[in-house]
Amino acid sequence: MSQNTEQLLRSIMEKRVLIIDGAMGTEIQKYKLQESDFRGELFKEHGSDLKGDNDLLVLTRPDVIFNIHKSYLEAGADMIETNTFNATSVSQADYKLEHIVYQLNVEAARVAKRAAVEVAALQPDRPRFVAGAIGPTSKTCSISPSVERPDFRNITYDELVAAYAEQTRGLLEGGVDVLLVETVFDTLNCKAALFAIEQVFQDGPYPRVPIFVSGTITDRSGRTLSGQTTEAFYISVAHANLFCVGLNCALGAEEMRPFAKALSKVASCFTHVYANAGLPNALGGYDQDPAQMAAFMKSFAEEGLFNMVGGCCGTSPDHIRAIAAAVAGVPPRVPPQIPRTLRLSGLEPLVFTPELNFVNVGERCNVTGSRAFANLILKNNYEGALKVCRQQVELGAQILDINFDEGLLDAHFAMTKFLCLIASEPDVSRLPIMIDSSKFAVIETGLKNVQGKCMVNSISLKEGEADFIKKGKLVRQYGAAVVVMAFDEEGQATSTERKFEICKRSYDILTTKCGFPPEDIVFDPNILTIATGLEEHNEYAINFIGAVKQIKEQLPYARVSGGVSNLSFSFRGRDSIREAMHSAFLYHAIKGGMDMGIVNAGNLPIYENIDKQLLTLCEDSIFNRRPDATDALLLYAEQSKQKGQDAKEAVVLEWRTKPVQERLSHALINGLVDFIDADVEECRLQVARPLEVIEGPLMNGMSIVGDLFGAGKMFLPQVIKSARVMKKAVAYLIPFMEKEKELARLNDPNAAYAEQKHAGTVLMATVKGDVHDIGKNIVGVVLGCNNYNVIDLGVMTSCEKILASAKEHNVDIIGLSGLITPSLDEMVYVASEMERAGLKLPLLIGGATTSRIHAAVKIAPKYSGAAIHVLDASRSVVVVRNLLDAATRQDYIDEVAQEYVEVRADYLQTLSNRVYLPLEKARSKKAKVDWAAVNITKPTFLGTRLFADYPLEKLVDSIDWNPFFAVWQLKGKYPNRGYPKIFQDKTVGQEAQRVFNDAQRMLKEIIDNKLLKATGVVGFYPAHGVGDDVELYADEQRTTPLATLYGLRQQLENENSEVYQAYGDFVAPRSSGVADYVGMFAVSAGFGIEQLEQRYQQQHDDYSVIMAKALADRLAEAFAEVLHEEVRKVHWGYARDEALNLDDRLKVKYQGIRPAPGYPSQPDHTEKRTLWSVMDVQKQTGIELSESLAMYPGASVSGLFFANPHAKYFAVGKINRDQVVDYAARKKQPVEDIQKSLGPIIGYE
């Protein structure tokens, strides 16, 4: 080609979608070739069967391969792949043809090139390209072929590099235009191929050609065969300066969509997709016809998911022809601008975002840092060493440091074996690895055994610049990030100036002479030991922090790390002192810019929790504030030695010496399950029947719990833990009671068996259309603790099921729960149906949107029985007890009924006293905006963008914990009302801290084990304000409305405001001549919550059920918060310079708002349907909308984004009939339906 291939390809792929060919194997099968075809004359006498060695046909039947190439080119392919998928010595060894591999690749390239030249000659304005296909081989470098030997590999990295280098040389000699490493199911194999390709280019004489890489997601879990996620795979191979990266094989187009989408978001280069023709059928064939596959690929193209498309297994020239026609004219994907930051990977990605905060590098898998680990390795106890590894992960390590620098060890053997074992441990191998050694050869050994993008610890200028450059280039070629120590030819830097000087020199060399991106450079400016008694050591900590600040200010994108334990080395054996020193030092170093550190994450005390005297002494040493700092620390250590540990343990276990009945009460009151089975069994053996254990000591204990809770001496979380103990105890007894029943029936079939006596039976349900049940579950637990039998029908419960179950179980009370506004109408309906059915059971009403006023005004008049609002769980027992006590029942019902008569009267009087502006007058008082002066930013994209499987760890720092404590009914008193001040409250502070700690543990488990999944979608649309409403448009032509967001305007007269708002006021009208936009979103963090609930329910653990739901809700709200911030700063970008902390964000100090349908700014829940329709929310995210407009999973949030500075949150408040009629006309709905959906804000009878 006359023009540089890379430039030519780039110019084409920026203008249109490039077409690559389809399957070779299925086309070869159509020729029905026999053994003789594969042998030809060249291999007539070969000693092994050759049929099936398709690559061999380039030598024995080149006409067949040429014709297949030509048919794809004529069908519209711009690029064809050489027939060399298995043309390596590794794969050809199966046929004993290793010796012809180079010849195979040369000839395959020439055959393909000849076809491309011939077809291109007929269309000179459309160049054709040949991709040298490099397959994965039949062996894996990351996976053991033996279940019994997880550390075994059937091939080495070096063997793969040699095989791939030979293949690469042959393909380049034959004249391929690009190299395509494809069908990557093991990323380490791919990295070996990329290493070999780079080596061939360096050795010459071949000019560089563009490199394409194509991964294979093996199933719908979204991972490669070797376990990596799509993003982790890309991060692992991105170092090779890829021209194009994509996915092929294993999946059909429909199944591949989410993973292609994920890749298109993170890849800064071009991307491609060539999927199978659907999934294989029962006979191994593929059924998706060309038209079906082309339709899928067109939708991919319209979403902007790729720059090149083709086919894999089961596709033919007809498929390629249809695909080429379908994507013709569709603009190609525009590669995104990916922020420059350090990206590492294990099985999963670790991206250093601003939200990531400090990264813990686990230090215990280092024989120089952990004597216990070293002893395990020296004794060849690798299983024990793996346990240390797992513990590091469980304790919060985000990167694992691996080091085998021990004189008695074969470090190469140990490094290889241990890394291979780690690869078989998904919980461990999901983390990136830090290969740590003072011997560079051992580092290389490590790099050859890790598929993810790791870190090398470390290199330095100690051996001179030439050695540094050589090692830097090799680390880059292996695809790792690098830690650089502050050493040079003169030795270790100790002063701030020397530390920075060496780091600056290293940075310049790596970026200019080694091709290292600065974001892959991590400096370790040497954390040295302080408090040694030597004066020259006293400034070491200060110097480190000073160097950190200079590095972050003057070396763009570089990161800073350090070995934290070095700091306190002089206090060996005094762990409490060392841990406090580490925590205090990190607190200040992180503020200075330190990004990560090698530290035992599980042993770091929280800075705020360090004893104040000890903290002062530590900081005296760190900042060299007093000359006797070391002596003062030593004195503190002596004075604070723990004494009397044996006595303490004796106190802790003293309750175990008491009679079993007292032990059971103690366990129930304190929520202790450790001994419950043994104690219940001991008690069972002392009584005549197992039921007596329940009705005796267990119920006695729960009665104490109920009394303490009622008196405010126990808090809700403690009560729920007590219920967990009770459930476990009862679960232990159930088999014995069932056996007793069976024996009773055998002895006397007509005999009645005494069941447990309950104080009454309460049926509870979340009403139809609603999926929220945390509050209901809490009430159920509290009632259960008070010996009430609770029948919980769950969520989305129809009226028919509620009434039928009430009759079936002969219940005493029915309790209804709901969170969303439409649930109020459903409760009214249930009440009226209970009346129609002639029921007289007390009806309890509860939930976030319910109120005493609503119960009195809307529900009680529909039902002649008692309808009573219950404020929260703490009131439920009192209400139920009054209703079921014959002595108090009627008086209590009469009292509530009279109270509700008064509430209704007050409500109606309030309505009559309210003054409403006529709608038109309210509209005339809308905010006056000079739109010409408003700076409106166009979003970075229009349409939708999916945020699939959003990392939960990115949400944690944005959690608003105040609603969490409200769930547990823990409320501090002024000045300790909110989080974190609640921990200081004298009444609830200790319990709030305990619950919070439990939440942190569960949150860590959820994140570490991916027990919940967060997914969301954001959309941006051209928009104009039209009166109270907002019109959305499909494109910038703004001619035909895509949808209308209907708004409601404030009408209730307000003496304090001259402005009456609707959210149509927040978007520029068409008459302004200003092009404006509106965003919308829907997110959920509740995928997986049902499985988590089931797990805890099977363990009889109500406390954890409620905790999991509460955390899912918090994560969903945090997801909305994080996405809104990303919208403001990135996706819409109208506040790119915003720098607000979480407290400021929760106080809405940012520009713009995110109101939600069903909430004060637009109380109409039916508007959610517009969001779901416009963004196709359910299809994109899986978040469903019930007929009553509840989102499922329940831990979901949706809403709108308004960006303009004058957009502020407001409450519509009550509205009058004229607005309801007008609103109904605009929505083209009956007034009666509108009144139903707007019930809570209707200001008239």
What is the rounded distance in angstroms from the CA atom of residue 1010 to the CA atom of residue 515? Answer: 36
- The count of other CB atoms within 10 Å of the CB of residue 146 is 10
Is 46 among the residues known to form the active site? no
Report how far Cα 23 is from the mean position of its chain's Cα atoms: 36
Strands, sheet with 813-817, edge to edge from the N-terminal-most edge strand? 789-792, 761-766, 813-817, 843-846, 867-869
What is the rounded distance in angstroms from the CA atom of residue 79 to the CA atom of residue 60? Answer: 24
3-state secondary structure 983-1024: HHCCCCHHHHHHHHHHHHHHHHHHHHCCCCEEEEEEEEEEEE
First to last CA, the chain: 82
Q: From residue 623, give the alpha-carbon distance in Å to each of 535, 543, 574, 995.
A: 13, 10, 20, 36
Contact 439, 367 (CB under 8 A): no
Is 823 among the residues known to form the active site? yes
Burial of residue 1024 (CB within 10 Å: 0-12, 13-18, 19+) is: buried
Selection from 1022, 1067, 1033 nearest residue 1047 by Cα: 1067
Is 221 among the residues known to form the active site? no
Q: Select which of 319, 772, 869, 1131 is catalytic.
A: 772
What secondary structure letter does DSSP report for 842? -
Phi, psi of 702 (to 5 degrees): -70, -30
Q: Select which of 71, 89, 214, 823 is catalytic.
A: 823
CA dihedral 1212, 1213, 1217, 1223 (to 10 degrees): 20
Residue appearing with tokens 């780039």:
10
Selection from 1077, 1082, 1034, 1031 nearest residue 1207 by Cα: 1077
Contact 352, 34 (CB under 8 A): no
What is the rounded distance in angstroms from the CA atom of residue 697 to the CA atom of residue 104? Answer: 82
What is the rounded distance in angstroms from the CA atom of residue 783 to the CA atom of residue 785? Answer: 5
Name every residue whose Cβ is closer than 8 Å to that of residue 1111 and which is 6 or more positions away in sequence.
964, 999, 1002, 1003, 1006, 1012
What is the rounded distance in angstroms from the CA atom of residue 151 to the CA atom of residue 1135? Answer: 51
Q: From residue 156, give the alpha-carbon distance in Å to each of 191, 416, 525, 727, 988.
A: 12, 10, 35, 54, 60
Q: From residue 524, give the alpha-carbon distance in Å to each of 350, 457, 459, 485, 584.
A: 19, 9, 10, 5, 19
Q: What is the DSSP string of 1042-1106?
A: EEEE------B--TT-S----GGGGS-BGGGT--EEEEEEEEEEEETHHHHHHHHHHTT-HHHHH
Which run of H or of E encompasses 592?
Answer: helix 575-592
What is the rounded distance in angstroms from the CA atom of residue 29 to the CA atom of residue 316? Answer: 12
What is the rounded distance in angstroms from the CA atom of residue 620 to the CA atom of residue 627? Answer: 9
Residue 785 Rama label (left phi>0; alpha psi -120 to 50; beta): alpha
And the tokens for 1244?
């008239």
Selection from 864, 786, 767, 777 nearest residue 824 by Cα: 767
What is the rounded distance in angstroms from the CA atom of residue 656 to the CA atom of residue 1127? Answer: 57
What is the rounded distance in angstroms from the CA atom of residue 1194 to the CA atom of residue 514? Answer: 52
- The count of other CB atoms within 10 Å of the CB of residue 905 is 11
Contact 1118, 999 (CB under 8 A): no
Q: Catalytic residues, which ones? A: 770, 772, 823
